[in-house]
Structure 1
């Protein structure tokens, strides 16, 4: 992999690339007619606090045809972003270095996108353990699932209920597979690769770059506003949901950005994204109320998950082969 002695691009250039990645990803969802949503402006809900019924001539976000069109659009946009990173990397490597090693642009691009398996070959645990950090955080919800006997191989677990709708439906494919994969490639690998090339600090990459990931979800407000009937109440619901989603996605982005930078691999943040989407937000109050006789145990499991997460985020992550975390040359200077 080719490394640079000083940042080869400016921060403004990194901003431009990050804006292209973000806007092209979201914008692609509205390019084709089949991917755009369609709402009846005159449809009103039965109750201001409930989502209204869908009419036959409308196109909603969870309609299979809309999902298919948007998955295709997101996949094409993701491919263009990846190509842009490869083009940038190739343009920055001196011709003499490419002549000496023609594979340098490809190997460098793959490494910066976290798509190499060098870490796993050197030390399998260096790539396996970071993938387990998110499940540790969910120890409380997983314990509640255990009490409900709904974990795999337990009595109340079934393929039709727990697996088929999660992974073998268009909504499930979007939420738990294609969506997380394309979002991590674009908002983690592509965005962080250009900011690293600009010399951005690790703290800025962890805590500022995920804001693009959060902002990219703001367009869901229009969907919510229309589904709730385009009323003042609908506007309020859309606003509250959007602000909550912005906060949640930004916090989750901190987690994934840290994993990506520490490991130099796209696998841990992508699997974490899939896992968290499957699990959803922890339902502490619901679980405590559901198992009153095990209240202390449920509380302890939730606390153990938080404590374990804090420990694992440092102890279970990090790899010597990461191109992003503390890379220095023989002269002791940093590398980009």
Structure 2
């Protein structure tokens, strides 16, 4: 652990003055490019019209595909150097791949325990029926042909996580540190509106905001409300154990960009 921290300190020596301003402005420019790409198409059609969705798919996919170039240009322009390749800094790597898919999604589902219990109680299907539907190719054919489903469950989570998290974290970590950078990225997402986060994002889009008012009027209100409370409690109890860096490969590549390693980077 001492050696790892030593490597980190050695790599970020010579960081130029004004790096934080440059990083923030780069993130803001990237956010504006993403949001602006949604409005380059003029149309009187509603936002959920398939033609509008397809046009927006084109523009956001182009911006998202070019977004790693922002990080590359930022890294080349500054004195910040790291031994990790660009894709690793963006969170795209094989080390810890399975853990990064399973554990964050599990943690997110725990947070949504109440809505999931409520959904299962109100669903007319049995568990076996649900499994049959999920395994039915016709079900997925219908989903993939639905532009709104593709937007909410695939394109939006993938592009937003790539732009607003994967590309912005490496630019913010050197001056803000891992913890502050993690909580700052959603602010740029607010202006605008890999791997594990995409699935969690897609799951949250599917679940939507918990229908608390409906839960209060549900016939099984005590069970539903208890599951809401249990889910939130378990989420906070499991948050740090399930996000332990040892599950995802140590040291985390993006953490090699900071001179102030935290517990988020090293187990």
C-alpha spacing 1:177/1:109, structure 2 compared with 1 (3 Å): same
C-alpha spacing 1:12/1:310, structure 2 compared with 1 (3 Å): same
TM-score (normalizing by structure 1)? 0.64
1: CA distance, partners of 2:161 / 2:244: 18
TM-score (normalizing by structure 2)? 0.79
Q: Could you tell me which residue of structure 2 aligns to residue 65 of structure 1?
A: 51
Q: 1:299 aligns with which of 225, 228, 237?
A: 225
2: CA distance, partners of 1:77 / 1:269: 19
Q: 2:198 aligns with which of 251, 255, 270?
A: 270
Contiguous gaps of at least 5 residues in structure 1: 39-58, 99-103, 218-265
1:172 deviation in Å? 1.0
C-alpha spacing 1:165/1:133, structure 2 compared with 1 (3 Å): farther
C-alpha spacing 1:7/1:202, structure 2 compared with 1 (3 Å): farther
> 2:74 matched to 1:88?
yes
C-alpha spacing 1:204/1:301, structure 2 compared with 1 (3 Å): same
Is contact 1:166–1:176 with CA below 8 Å preserved after alignment?
no
Q: Could you tell me which residue of structure 1 aligns to residue 243 of structure 2?
A: 317
User: What is the RMSD computed on CA atoms of the aligned residues?
Assistant: 3.3
> 2:104 matched to 1:130?
yes
2: CA distance, partners of 1:285 / 1:191: 36
Tell which has more relative contact order, 1 or 2 (C-alpha 8 A, sep 6+): 2
2: CA distance, partners of 1:306 / 1:162: 32
> 2:12 matched to 1:12?
no
Is contact 1:167–1:176 with CA below 8 Å preserved after alignment?
no
C-alpha spacing 1:289/1:162, structure 2 compared with 1 (3 Å): farther
2: CA distance, partners of 1:302 / 1:284: 9
Q: Which structure 2 residues correspond to residues 1-336 of structure 1 after superposition, within 5 A?
A: 4-6=11-13, 8=15, 10-31=19-40, 35-38=41-44, 59-90=45-76, 107-120=84-97, 124-125=98-99, 127-149=101-123, 153-155=127-129, 158=133, 167-197=144-174, 199-217=175-193, 266-290=194-218, 292=219, 294-319=220-245, 320-324=250-254, 334=261
Is contact 1:25–1:74 with CA below 8 Å preserved after alignment?
yes
2: CA distance, partners of 1:24 / 1:78: 9
Q: How many residues align?
A: 246
2: CA distance, partners of 1:271 / 1:127: 7
Is contact 1:137–1:309 with CA below 8 Å preserved after alignment?
yes
2: CA distance, partners of 1:190 / 1:164: 32
Decide which structure has the larger Cα Rg and report it.
Answer: 1
What do residues 27-47 of structure 1 show as CA deviations (whole Å, max 9, x unaligned)? 11222xxx3342xxxxxxxxx
Contiguous gaps of at least 5 residues in structure 2: 1-6
